[in-house]
Structures are given as C-alpha cells and as structure tokens.
Structure 1
Amino acid sequence: MSSRQQQPPSWIQELRCPICVDFFTDPVSLECGHNFCRSCITGCGGNSCPECRQEFPEGKLKVNMNLARLTERAWKWTLNPGEEGSKPHCQEHEEELKLFCQTDKKLICFICRDSREHKSHNFIPIKEAVEIYKDQLKSTFKSLSEKKSMFLESEQKQMGKISEVREQSSSLQTHITSKFTQMHQILTEKEQRLVRELRRDEERILDTMEKKLQKIQENLYSIEGELSKLQQQMEQQDRLKFLKEELRQKRRSSEDYKKLALADEMLSLGKFNGPLQYTAWRDMLDTITPVPASLTLDLNTANHWLLVSGDGTSVRLGNQPQLLLNTPQRFSCGPCILASQGFTSGVHYWEVEVAAKTWWEVGVAEEFAERKEKIVPMPETGYYNICLLPGSGYVALTSPTVTSLAPATNPRKIGVYLDYEGGQVSFYNTDDTSHLHTFRHSSSERLFPFFSTGPNDNGKNSASMTICGVRRH
C-alpha cells in the first residue's frame, strides 16, 4: 500500500488552528463559535475574531475541553497510527514519517528533510530518537525516583517531629497539671485546716457566750421579779418589814453583778486575719522544688581581678589584680567564677541580680570546660550561657552564631533553671517570669553555676552581681 493511500482520518483536519495551521494547543472558543489556540488568539491583539470579525469581551475565552481531547487523540494518531488503522504520515507531503529532526524536535518525512525549511538540520531515524528520549526519560525517572525517596524520608522525619511535638506537649501538660495540683493541694489543706480551727474556736467561744447569755437572762428574769417585790415593798406601811427587805435585796444584787462582770473571749484576729498568703508561701517552700537556691561563690575558681563579698554571694570587678595562686581550678582568662555547688542530678534553680550592670554573663559550665586559654563560651566547649553585651543587647551564646534575645523589659534578675536528667538549661526574666532561652545538653560531667562580671566598660560596669537565694528557715 503506497504512502499516499494512508490518508489521515477526516476529523483530524478539523483540529488545526486557523492562525498557526497546527494542531490546537490549549484550545479556546469565542462567543461566535470559532476555535483557536489560546496563545494564538491572545497574540493577535484586539478583541475581534480573525475568522468572522465579531467582537468578543476582553478575556472572554472559554476552554474547549472536547477539542483538547480530540487534539490529543490526533497527536496519538500521528505518533502511533496503528491505533487508527494507518501508519504515521506527514501532514504536508502525505509521506510516511521516517526521520526525527533534532533541530526542530519534530517527526518528518524524506521530502521534509530535503526541503528548505529543514536545510542544514540534524536528522536521525525515529527508532534512534525513541531510544535517545527513552534514555533521557530513564535518567529523569531515576532523578525523580531519588527525589521521591528523599521527600519520603523528609516526610517521615517531619511526621516524626510532629508526633514528637505532640507527645512533648502532652507530657508537658501533664507535668504542669501535676505541679499545680500539688500547690492547690497544699493551699487547700492549709485553708481547710484554718477553717476547722476557726470553727472550733467559734463553737467554743459561742458556747461560753451563750451560757453567759442564759445566765444573764435568768438574772434578768429574777430582777424583774425583784422589781415587782420592790414595788410592793415601796407600798409597805410597816417600817421594820420595809428595812429588812431593803437590806436583803442590796446584798443579792451585788453578788450577781460580780458574777457577770468577767470579760468575754473573742476570736483571734491575729490568728485568722494575719499575713495568710505569706505564711502559706512559707509552708509551701518546704514542699515545692526548686526554689531559688542559696549558692555561694567558689574563691578557688575566681579570676584574679574579681572581688568576692564576705558571705560569698556577691562578686564585682576590682581595680587591680590580686596575688592569687594560679591553680588548675582558677579562671586565668576573663573575669569569671563558679559557684561552690555543682550538680550531677536533680532540678535546680537560682537567681542572679544584674540590674546595675552594663555587661554580664550567667549560666552553667561543665566541670572540665576550658578555664585557662581564651574561652569561647558555647555548648560545644561546655558553656550554656546568656549575656548582656554593649552594642549587641541580650544574646544566648549559641553556635555557630549567637541568638538574639528580646525581653519585654530589661531584666533586673536572671533566673537559671537546670534539669540535669532532662538535659535542660533555661533562663528567665524574673521581673515577669518570662522565658528567655533554653539550651539542650547531654553532658555527663558535673555542672556548676557560672558567673562573669564582664569588663570595666569605661567605669560603667563596676556594679556587683549578687546571688539571690531564698532561705527556707
């Protein structure tokens, strides 16, 4: 059968755009009923149909889905004519498609190859082109498969993180509820104890008062009887009888008065109307953990420029270095010092007053962190600290870069919370109990509270840092 007998189905000829004379691409219909490629009609300019010149509203282009499906079918026919009962053919020369033009990326016949349109172009057999594009598809497929695997892995990780956050939130909610339940229980027990004592005192005092009231009422009844008798006595004409009754009545009244003259006991205002909130807070200190610890500074770790107060709770930068032994424990670079107390377990909390300082650093240091060479304080070197730096403000000393902090108010005191087993070091502005920053740690070393006064800052940073502990008794 000759190639000229391999005519395309008649319906395929209807699927060409009047403007580009090629198969429709993204076909749209105008209100007049004519169809065009979207890019062709929008590229013509104006608002009139190229076929009938009927005007149409700007942007009034309706997608023709049926035409798009037929066009796709036409393309399939040109690529695989077996589906339509014929071989692939050239629409222009009606010859069988044998070659692939690499320059124009289209199927052509031998006549197209020799035409001026494809002069100097590169051609390969269709079979070879298919193999090339299959190889490209394989490469793309492999790349997409790798990306799919990567995103599947990322999806699993992200889902794991979401699950972790939910579990952590549930655990923290349980923790919060438990801690406040303990405080509610302590306050409720104290409230109930005071109310019971108040009720007992009330019953005891009222019982005494009611008995006294009963006695008063008995005497009142007796007096009323006596008054009746006196009235009769005043009307007595016998003088001797009158005098005897008068003397007896005066003696009885005097004795009754002495019995009723005792003062009544009242409820104790001092016991039930004193500083109840303060006394409840003091009672809670023995059961609530942690409360601000009463730490003391370790003189053996103090840099030779530092001056420590007699009670070991305050430190400031001196005007000249002191003559101190350069022991392994002592900081020789930077105005730093540790607390005497170190921790290998439990939860702990302490507060440091920094209100008058322009430069300071507080936090936690591992026992064997560097103390002699130039210190670069960050978790990788064993330091979990925040600080105030002139020109930089409040920062957490994280790595590879520091993390800026933005407290609502400048802290007068910094609270430091250490949960050793939980791997947590957190910092708070104690003025409003707002959270400033949290480090995660996995250290197995003893951890010590760390303090640095910062440099002199041209005389503006001479104030002390003070540990503000709470003594339970």
Structure 2
Amino acid sequence: MAESLDQNLRCGVCARIYSEPVTLDCGHNFCRPCVLGLWGNLEDTVSCPQCGQQFPRRELKTNQLLATLVTSLGVLSLEPSPVVSGQRCQSHWAEPMLFCSKNLMLVCPSCLARDPDKRKSLMPPEEAYTFCQEKLENSAAFLEKRLEEYRLAESSQGARISETLELADNLQENIETQFAKMHQLLSEQEMKLRDRLTEESQGLVQALEGNLKLVSKRTASVQKLIAEIRSLTDTEDRDRLLTEIKNILQRSDLHQEPVLQLPGMSVGEFRGPLQYAAWKQMLSIVSPAPAPLTLDPETASPCLMLSKDHTMVKRRTKLRQVPESGRRFAFCAAALTTEGFASGTHYWEVDVETSAGWIVGAARETAERSEEVPLTPANGYWTVRLWNDKVHWCRDRLASAHSCADAKPQRVGVYLDYEAGQLSFYDAGDMSHLCTFFDHFAEKIYPFVFPLSGLEPAETEVLRLFHLRL
C-alpha cells in the first residue's frame, strides 16, 4: 500500500513527493517549483514536461486533493532520501534525480529544462542501476570474446614468425641451389635476389613482431579493463557504478578494431625458374627448361583452329566438324596440351602478343569441360587473364578477379612445382612475378589456353606455345 502511494504521489520532474501540487490543462500533476523551474524565463508558449502539450499562458491550478493526501499520509514517511547520496549534477551542481540512458549520466531538473528531449531516455536510479549492470555485462562478454581472439592472434603471430623464418631459410637454400651451376657468371644477380629476400623476410618479421607486441599490449589492456568491470559490477556502491560506467564503456569501444592481418612473403619471386630468368641462354644447365609443349586436338573446342604443328591456336567464326570426345571443351573455346604433369617442376611459356584477350594457366585432368563453370581453383582451373588491358587472377576459391599487373605482357610464363602445390605466373619478357597459386594437386595437371573473341576476329590474333631455340 505504501509503495503504491509512494509511486503515485511523486512528481514526474523531481521524483519526490509532491510539494505544492498543481495541475496543468492537460491533466498532469507536478510540484509548482518544478514546473516554474522548467519553464524558467520563457516568454512564449510553455509545454507540459510529461506529454509536451503546449499552452499559450502559464496557468497552474492548485490540486487541493493531492495536497491533502500528501499532508494526511505524511505519517507513512514517503519522502525519499536523496537519489544518489553525495552526488551532484556536473552541469548545475544540483541534486540529480534521474539517469539518462542515452548519455549515460545523472541529470537534474535544470538539465531537463535545458534539454526537454532527454525525458524519453530517463529512468529512476533503481531501474538505472539494473540497466547499467546489463550494459556492463554485455561489454564484459564482448571483451572476453575479444580477449580470446587476441590470445589466439598472439599465439598465431608467434607461429607466423617461426614459419616466416623457416620459409626464408628454405627460399634461401633454393636460391643457392639454383645458382650453384652458374654462380661465377651470375653472382651479381644472385646477390640482388638475396638482398631482396633478406629485406622482405626481415621486414615481414619486424612487422609481425610489432604486431605481436601490439596484440600483447591489447591483451593486457583488455584483461585490466575486464577486471575493472568485474569490480564495478560486483560492487554495491551505486554511486561509483553510475559515475564510472561511461568512461569504462568508452574504453571498451576502443577494442572494436580487429586484429591486423599482415600479408605473407612473395614466395613466387624467390621460388621459380630463377636460372632461366637470370640467364635464359644457358639452357643446358637451366632447370626446369621451357617445355616444348603442343596442343591436343582432341581437347580443342570446335570454335578453335590449330596450326599444323599444334603450337598455335586461334578463334574461328564457324564451328568445325569434329569427332565427339569426352575430353573436348564444349562450354568455352579452350584447349589443353598433349602432355600433362603429375610430379616434378615444370615451366612453359605462352606467346600472347597478338591477342587482344586471353586466358592461360593450367587445369586438372578431370576439370569440367562440357558444362559452363567458373574458371576457379575450386573447379580445377588456375589461370590468369587479360581483361581491360590488365592481367587479372582469381586469388581465392571464388570467381572474383583481382588485378596482378598493369602492363600487358607479350608472353606469359607458368611455373609448376607439383609436390609443393605451387603454380606461379610471370611476365616472360622480364620474368617479373605476376601471381602464385597454392593448392593440393592430386591428379595430372595440363597447361590450358583460352583465346577470347574480339569484336572482329583477326587472322593475327593467335596464342602460341613458345619453344626456345638457341
């Protein structure tokens, strides 16, 4: 009974038992001093603090019934103690009565007079205490999840450093082995590659170590912040919780940024046909030497015409009459080479100088050829293509293309390391690295060519498998 009367006899502005209760024209009741304080020196229309109805004049009607009830029930000791003992409004140094859930701060009647829109987000301290505890619990749950991510990243970064150093050692050994037979003639080129490898590996290690320090620092910061939150949520000191929540949540928001993921090393630049790139004329000691491949007519689309020696291919306007074969491409104008690879390291080049558009690369033996599928690693195709005069590749298992070179190469080199699962592409003119795929090869891999059709097919637009002749 007393609690019900307590709630019904409180002013909506100051949250205290009515003092000089008055009724506005809209029917809502308030303390006379509270209403006059809210209206202040306003000369224009005034409004109800609860419903917002506007009045052309200040007309306050004394609510004698409420005044009598307040006086008669005084024996119930309904007058509350200060809402937050010892706290004062930061803006007006008045006793705060309510809590703003939007700005996360205590407010007083003067605050309401300045910003009437705040009333929608106000709540009594008892409700605010529960509200703030829930906010802090949510923040702690988020931070605990982020802490776990930081710990995993911390462990991952440490492993990445070891893997990077080990990979750098393996690449260093590969460079030395490749250059052993022509070290006397090519020592300068070898040193250049060593220096680039050392610079990149050290730069990456330094970046990883810096990132590791940052993650460790963030981990310590989150642990400290969680401890503060736990201390705050477990305390019975409402004053402290309501006062410190805003600062803690702001600090929690600083950890929204995800863990930085650094790129890996440019493996394709250091593990490839390095001897051929440095001294192409020394074919007798180059390994692997450019493979003298030929195209397989049984795989060629009816849209294609092959040269007599099966080293060149071009599009044609009319379909050829060809025997049916399950190995033939039906959904795209492509062809495979006669020779495929199921082990070892191999290198070949495709002359694309006269073609306005092309796709070259490799395909697994069982890749789909009769139905239209995206030419992606997931479907057994590892390719690069000339698109809008730039070279693009699908660097993941999706069909989205990414640029890997701005210049248009005249010849594309392809390097396959079957056991390592590496397929690298180069601009064969200067052997600059274009891109590298890593995958697990479980069946024979065949070189793949696909001349794209132009607006007007030209006799000179051909793709040619390059044969090195000294």
TM-score of the aligned structures, taking structure 1 as reference length: 0.52
> Could you tell me which amino acid in structure 1 is paired with residue 168 of structure 2?
S
The 1:289–1:136 alpha-carbon spacing in structure 2 relative to 1, beyond 3 Å, is same
Matches within 5 A, 1:350-429: 350-389=348-387, 391=388, 393-398=390-395, 399-408=398-407, 410-429=408-427
Q: Which moved more, 1:360-369 or 1:157-166?
A: 157-166
Task: Please tell me whether Structure 1 or Structure 2 has the larger radius of gyration of its CA atoms.
Answer: 1
Q: Which residue in the other structure is 2:287 paired with?
A: 289
Deviation at 1:416, TM superposition (A): 0.8
**Is the Cα contact below 8 Å between 1:387 and 1:395 reproduced in 2?**
yes
Please give the alpha-carbon distance, in whole angstroms, between the structure 2 residues aligned to 1:439 and 1:465: 23
Deviation at 1:123, TM superposition (A): 4.0
Q: Which residue in the other structure is 2:145 paired with?
A: 146
Please give the alpha-carbon distance, in whole angstroms, between the structure 1 residues aligned to 2:463 and 2:411: 10
Q: Which residue in the other structure is 1:247 paired with?
A: none
**Is the Cα contact below 8 Å between 2:316 and 2:457 reproduced in 1?**
no
**Is the Cα contact below 8 Å between 1:304 and 1:324 reproduced in 2?**
yes
Please give the alpha-carbon distance, in whole angstroms, between the structure 2 residues aligned to 1:144 and 1:123: 28
Q: Which residue in the other structure is 2:248 paired with?
A: none
Q: Which residue in the other structure is 2:347 paired with?
A: 349
Q: Which residue in the other structure is 1:42 paired with?
A: none
Q: Which residue in the other structure is 1:435 paired with?
A: 433
**Is the Cα contact below 8 Å between 1:99 and 1:123 reproduced in 2?**
no
The 1:400–1:164 alpha-carbon spacing in structure 2 relative to 1, beyond 3 Å, is farther
Deviation at 1:303, TM superposition (A): 1.0
Please give the alpha-carbon distance, in whole angstroms, between the structure 1 residues aligned to 2:280 and 2:403: 37
Deviation at 1:392, TM superposition (A): 5.4
Indicate the SS of the match to 1:301.
Answer: coil
Indicate the SS of the match to 1:290.
Answer: coil
Matches within 5 A, 1:36-47: none
Deviations 1:270-308 (A, max 9, x none): xxxxxxxxxxx8995344310110111111111112222
Q: Which residue in the other structure is 1:165 paired with?
A: 164
Please give the alpha-carbon distance, in whole angstroms, between the structure 2 residues aligned to 1:91 and 1:467: 84
Please give the alpha-carbon distance, in whole angstroms, between the structure 1 residues aligned to 2:182 and 2:129: 77
Deviations 1:123-177 (A, max 9, x none): 456xx86666445433332322222112222333344334433332232122112
Please give the alpha-carbon distance, in whole angstroms, between the structure 1 residues aligned to 2:411 and 2:281: 24
Please give the alpha-carbon distance, in whole angstroms, between the structure 1 residues aligned to 2:458 and 2:372: 24
Deviation at 1:337, TM superposition (A): 0.7
Q: Which residue in the other structure is 1:323 paired with?
A: 321
| Ranges in structure 2 where 5+ consecutive residues have no aligned partner | 1-83, 90-94, 188-278
The 1:102–1:411 alpha-carbon spacing in structure 2 relative to 1, beyond 3 Å, is closer
**Is the Cα contact below 8 Å between 2:315 and 2:457 reproduced in 1?**
no
**Is the Cα contact below 8 Å between 1:427 and 1:437 reproduced in 2?**
yes
Determine if the alignment matches structure 1 residue 102 to structure 2 residue 99: yes
Q: Which residue in the other structure is 1:155 paired with?
A: 154
Q: Which residue in the other structure is 1:453 paired with?
A: 451
Q: Which moved more, 1:436-445 or 1:418-427?
A: 436-445
**Is the Cα contact below 8 Å between 1:302 and 1:337 reproduced in 2?**
yes
Deviation at 1:182, TM superposition (A): 3.1
Q: Which residue in the other structure is 2:50 paired with?
A: none
Deviation at 1:99, TM superposition (A): 9.8
Deviations 1:331-366 (A, max 9, x none): 122221100111111110011111111111110001
The 1:468–1:144 alpha-carbon spacing in structure 2 relative to 1, beyond 3 Å, is same
**Is the Cα contact below 8 Å between 2:295 and 2:311 reproduced in 1?**
yes
Deviation at 1:425, TM superposition (A): 1.0
> Could you tell me which amino acid in structure 1 is paired with residue 177 of structure 2?
S
Deviations 1:355-399 (A, max 9, x none): 11111111000111111122421111111111223x353211443
Q: Which residue in the other structure is 2:176 paired with?
A: 177
Please give the alpha-carbon distance, in whole angstroms, between the structure 1 residues aligned to 2:372 and 2:147: 47
Q: Which moved more, 1:284-293 or 1:421-430?
A: 284-293
- Residues paired across the two proteins, number: 281
The 1:101–1:459 alpha-carbon spacing in structure 2 relative to 1, beyond 3 Å, is closer
Indicate the SS of the match to 1:156.
Answer: helix
Q: Which moved more, 1:131-140 or 1:300-309?
A: 131-140
**Is the Cα contact below 8 Å between 1:455 and 1:461 reproduced in 2?**
no
The 1:102–1:289 alpha-carbon spacing in structure 2 relative to 1, beyond 3 Å, is same
| Ranges in structure 1 where 5+ consecutive residues have no aligned partner | 1-86, 93-97, 189-280
Percent identity among equivalent residues?
Answer: 31
Deviation at 1:419, TM superposition (A): 0.8
The 1:131–1:376 alpha-carbon spacing in structure 2 relative to 1, beyond 3 Å, is closer
Deviation at 1:316, TM superposition (A): 1.9
Please give the alpha-carbon distance, in whole angstroms, between the structure 1 residues aligned to 2:380 and 2:459: 26
The 1:146–1:318 alpha-carbon spacing in structure 2 relative to 1, beyond 3 Å, is closer
The 1:134–1:465 alpha-carbon spacing in structure 2 relative to 1, beyond 3 Å, is closer
> Could you tell me which amino acid in structure 2 is paired with residue 403 of structure 1?
H
Indicate the SS of the match to 1:299.
Answer: coil
**Is the Cα contact below 8 Å between 1:456 and 1:462 reproduced in 2?**
no
> Could you tell me which amino acid in structure 2 is paired with residue 137 of structure 1?
L
The 1:122–1:352 alpha-carbon spacing in structure 2 relative to 1, beyond 3 Å, is closer
> Could you tell me which amino acid in structure 2 is paired with residue 318 of structure 1?
R
Q: Which residue in the other structure is 1:269 paired with?
A: none
Determine if the alignment matches structure 1 residue 334 to structure 2 residue 316: no
The 1:124–1:344 alpha-carbon spacing in structure 2 relative to 1, beyond 3 Å, is same
**Is the Cα contact below 8 Å between 2:302 and 2:322 reproduced in 1?**
yes
**Is the Cα contact below 8 Å between 2:374 and 2:399 reproduced in 1?**
no
Please give the alpha-carbon distance, in whole angstroms, between the structure 1 residues aligned to 2:338 and 2:171: 32
- Alpha carbon RMSD of aligned pairs, Å? 3.8
> Could you tell me which amino acid in structure 1 is paired with residue 446 of structure 2?
F
> Could you tell me which amino acid in structure 1 is paired with residue 149 of structure 2?
M
